[in-house]
């Protein structure tokens, strides 16, 4: 992604910089995205920063949020070009918060609001703020918006919240191939809701700075799925060709041999060539069409028996035996 300033009738490219080059550390990045998380995803409601309310670990979540579908979101931030080990950290954090209760979420947001205020007052000297009450009020307001735009209008606000399988957002200046491969695998094979957002910092000659967030996964996951689908189709095509290449010759069945129908042992056909030709009631057929005619929906090699085993089982057995013979 590139950024251009429109000047007159032309476009001037705005130079991209790494976060590290511009002295943006993870704390500064966290503060900026805490104030406005839209570069990561629109509709995020920040519950807490540096959340670490658990025993036996000093680890802390950079940002903990709810999305616009009331799902709990673990956000891990990195300023590096590789993303370091963000995915491993985030998975740990997601597991740790997967049992969060309503009271813990309210307490976490209460502490967050209190830390933001810097004091125990409401900001105008009138009195002390009940941060727990304020936290519950703000959270409930967010959940009501979720209900209003959804189809679950009969539910109460705290009934729509989803914490048991938190989403993960990884945000970094870049991601190594190790991370993207791991994330795509988790996303595709294990259905983990995980997003990678690439952060870019731009600065004009007048030292104006812009931050963009470009979601590369699961958008990249679409390409991954297409490739996986192509691989699956190719595998199925090869398997289909392998099955279609069956011949009586390869399994040692000679012309004139009798085959028995698997669904009715009184129904028989006779082999008439080295390939898949058979004769039934005076008419010539191929194995599968005849099986289908007799009410068997699978391939003909699974419909006909020779010497007590299906043609497919005979083929598999002989191929396995030949493979063992070929071993050194």
Q: What is the CATH number of the domain that holds 57?
A: 3.40.1350.10
More confident residue, 241 or 9: 9
Residues 256 and 168 placed together within one structural domain of the fold? no
Residues 166 and 257 placed together within one structural domain of the fold? no
**Confidence check: pLDDT of 221 > 70:** no
User: CB under 8 Å to 162, separation ≥6 — which residues?
Assistant: 69, 70, 71, 72
Question: Chain-wide mean pLDDT for the chain?
Answer: 87
Residues 99 and 160 placed together within one structural domain of the fold? yes
Confidence of residue 315 (pLDDT cuts 50, 70, 90): very high
Q: Which residue reads 């297409």 in tokens? A: 226
Per the domain annotation, does 237 fall within a domain? Answer: no
Residues 292 and 197 placed together within one structural domain of the fold? no
| Per-residue pLDDT tens over the stretch 4-29 | 988 888 998 999 998 988 889 999 99
The rounded distance, in Å, linking the Cα atoms of 84 and 195 is 15
More confident residue, 114 or 148: 114
> What does the pLDDT average to over 225-251?
72
Per the domain annotation, does 312 fall within a domain? Answer: yes
Per the domain annotation, does 278 fall within a domain? Answer: yes
Residues 122 and 270 placed together within one structural domain of the fold? no
Per the domain annotation, does 73 fall within a domain? Answer: yes
Residues 83 and 187 placed together within one structural domain of the fold? yes
Per the domain annotation, does 259 fall within a domain? Answer: yes
pLDDT for res 225: 61
Q: Which of 173, 198, 230 is the last residue of a domain?
A: 230
Residues 308 and 188 placed together within one structural domain of the fold? no
Tokens standing for residue 212:
């963009």
Per the domain annotation, does 98 fall within a domain? Answer: yes
Residues 195 and 256 placed together within one structural domain of the fold? no
pLDDT for res 231: 65
Residues 32 and 131 placed together within one structural domain of the fold? yes
Per the domain annotation, does 241 fall within a domain? Answer: no
> Which residue range forms the structural domain that includes residue 183?
3-230
Q: Which of 163, 197, 230 is the last residue of a domain?
A: 230
The rounded distance, in Å, linking the Cα atoms of 203 and 12 is 12
**Confidence check: pLDDT of 124 > 80:** no
Q: Which residue reads 């673990």 in tokens? A: 74
Residues 141 and 204 placed together within one structural domain of the fold? yes
> What does the pLDDT average to over 270-276?
94
Q: Which of 230, 259, 276 is the last residue of a domain?
A: 230
Domain count, the chain: 2
The rounded distance, in Å, linking the Cα atoms of 179 and 150 is 33
pLDDT for res 123: 47
CA angle 15, 20, 22 (to 5 degrees): 50
Residues 283 and 254 placed together within one structural domain of the fold? yes
Q: Which residue reads 């616009």 in tokens? A: 68
pLDDT for res 298: 86
Say whether 143 sits in a helix, a strand or coil. helix
Residues 52 and 166 placed together within one structural domain of the fold? yes
What CA–CA distances, in Å, run from 89 to 31, 64, 83, 148? 20, 14, 11, 34
> What does the pLDDT average to over 293-301?
91
Per the domain annotation, does 244 fall within a domain? Answer: no
> What does the pLDDT average to over 187-215?
91
């Amino acid at each position: 992604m590139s950024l251009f300033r429109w000047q007159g009738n032309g476009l001037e490219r705005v130079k991209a910089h790494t976060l590290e080059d511009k002295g943006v550390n993870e704390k500064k990045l966290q503060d900026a995205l805490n104030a406005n998380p839209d570069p990561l995803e629109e509709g995020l409601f920040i519950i807490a920063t540096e959340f670490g309310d658990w025993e036996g670990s000093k680890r802390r979540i950079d940002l903990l949020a709810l999305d616009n579908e009331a799902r709990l979101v673990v956000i891990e931030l990195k300023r590096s070009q590789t993303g370091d080990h963000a995915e491993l950290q985030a998975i740990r954090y997601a597991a740790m918060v997967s049992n969060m209760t309503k009271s813990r979420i309210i307490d976490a947001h209460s502490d967050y609001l209190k830390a933001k205020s810097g004091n125990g007052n409401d900001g105008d000297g009138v009195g002390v703020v009940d941060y727990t009450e304020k936290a519950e009020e703000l959270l409930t307001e967010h959940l009501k918006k979720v209900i209003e735009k959804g189809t679950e209008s009969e539910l109460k606000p705290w009934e729509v919240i989803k914490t048991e399988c938190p989403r993960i957002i990884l945000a970094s200046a870049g991601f190594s191939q190790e991370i993207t491969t791991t994330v795509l695998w988790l996303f595709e094979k294990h259905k983990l809701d995980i997003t990678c957002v690439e952060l870019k910092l731009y600065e004009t000659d007048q030292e104006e700075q812009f931050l963009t967030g470009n979601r590369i996964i699961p958008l990249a996951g679409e390409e991954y799925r297409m490739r996986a689908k192509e691989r699956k189709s190719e595998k199925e095509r090869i398997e289909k060709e392998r099955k279609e290449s069956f011949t009586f010759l390869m399994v040692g069945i000679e012309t004139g041999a009798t085959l028995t129908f698997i669904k009715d042992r009184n129904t028989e056909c006779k082999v008439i060539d080295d390939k898949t030709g058979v004769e039934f009631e005076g008419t010539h057929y191929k194995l599968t069409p005849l099986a289908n005619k007799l009410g068997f929906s699978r391939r003909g090699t699974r419909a006909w028996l020779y010497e007590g085993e299906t043609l497919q089982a005979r083929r598999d057995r002989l191929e396995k035996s030949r493979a063992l013979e070929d071993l050194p």
